[in-house]
Amino acid sequence: MSRIAVAGAGAFGTALAVALSATREVVLWGRDAPALERMARERGNPRLPNVILPDLLTITGDPDEAFARAGTVLLAVPAQALRGLLAEQGALLAGKPLVACGKGIDLETLHGPSAAIRQAIPSARPLVLTGPSFAADIARGLPTALTLACADPAEGERLQALLATPVLRLYRTTDLVGAELGGALKNVVAIACGACIGGGFGESARAALLTRGFAEMQRLALALGALPETLMGLSGLGDLVLTATSDGSRNYRHGLHLGRGEALEERVTVEGAATARAAARLGRRLGLDLPVTEAVAALVEGRSDVATVLRRLLDRPLRAE
């Protein structure tokens, strides 16, 4: 069965479905029936302005139609929604390769997506697709390179061939933990970098935060079993560079608004907010020093403001790099 199903009809799920449907049979599934009907009728998704949904792409709200005949399922829902989706659709997803495309850590279980999949559907095989890519770029067919992680090298190679396109270049790894933590933690550092610019502290300070934030990403990921080279690749450093420097990123923009003291955007997915809190908890549990993560957790929980957390970072004792 070469049919690919994409679960989650937001910006990213739709973009992946558009990109893959040029060469594959793809069905896009979502939970919001009226929104899906509108998408099918108008061949567009308001979250991806000016992108036309190809006629060959099937759009449905019926899980049976989407998943029963699918050989592979891409899970493109926000991290805090993944557990619920797996619980609801477990019977239809059992035994299949499930490719986690979301970037975050579950706030309740402190699990990344691969552990969430293993726990909810033991017969499924988790993969992680992650790296620097704005949904709008993928949907427009701009060149993109991502990491595909799969524990089984042979299955990883098969899925790499299935999911790559002439403009979507996939690199393989067997390091699921490293790939998913790079994608999750870069959102936290992106909020910090946005807050730094929004607060008027300048681009030099942002470069410092990006670099010291990256050191924290490595510290936490390595403590949780990631390989160092994964963090240095597309899923870690690559995605951090994109997200922490572009106001195309919702996480970076969230930080900008916090820094400027502006109202936050409503109904926008900002994965780094919950993930900062989850990562801070993991860090405390493991006895790790994660000052940038703690600062972002304090900001998003409303426990502090940008000037205070920056002062606290600067006042830390001087140390070796």
Pick the closer one to ligand NAI by CB: 45 or 313. 45
Burial 276-291 (b: 16+ CB within 10 A, else e): bbbbbebbeeeebebe
Cα–Cα distance for residue pair 9/318, rounded to 1 Å: 47
DSSP code, position 139: H
At its nearest, how many Å lie between ligand 13P and the CB of residue 268? 9
The H or E element spanning position 126 is strand 125-130
At its nearest, how many Å lie between ligand NAI and the CB of residue 235? 11
- Residues of span 49-78 touching ligand NAI by CB under 6 A: 76-78
Look up residue 272 and give its two tokens: 């780094």
What are the strands of the beta sheet with 144-150, ordered from one edge? 58-60, 26-29, 4-7, 72-75, 97-100, 125-130, 144-150, 168-173
Pick the closer one to ligand 13P by CB: 226 or 234. 234
Cα–Cα distance for residue pair 110/12, rounded to 1 Å: 23
Residue 69 annotated as part of some ligand binding site: no
Pick the closer one to ligand 13P by CB: 11 or 66. 11
- Are the CB atoms for 147 and 130 separated by under 8 Å? yes
96 catalytic residue (yes or no): no
- Are the CB atoms for 256 and 247 separated by under 8 Å? yes
Query: Binding ligand 13P by CB under 6 A: which of 102, 132, 156, 194?
Result: 132
Residue 242: contacted member of ligand 13P, ligand NAI, none (CB under 5 to 8 Å, by partner type): ligand 13P
Pick the closer one to ligand 13P by CB: 137 or 305. 137
Residue 137 annotated as part of some ligand binding site: no
Set 96, 186, 206, 219: catalytic member = 186
47 touching ligand 13P, by CB under 6 A: no
Contacts of 240 (CB under 8 A, 6+ apart): 182, 186, 189, 190, 210, 213, 214, 217
At its nearest, how many Å lie between ligand NAI and the CB of residue 62? 13
DSSP code, position 235: I
At its nearest, how many Å lie between ligand 13P and the CB of residue 176? 17
- Interface with ligand 13P by CB under 6 A: which residues? 103, 132-134, 187, 190, 239, 242-243, 249-251, 271
* Binding interface with ligand NAI (CB under 6 A): 8-13, 30-32, 47, 76-79, 81, 84-85, 101-104, 133-135, 269, 271
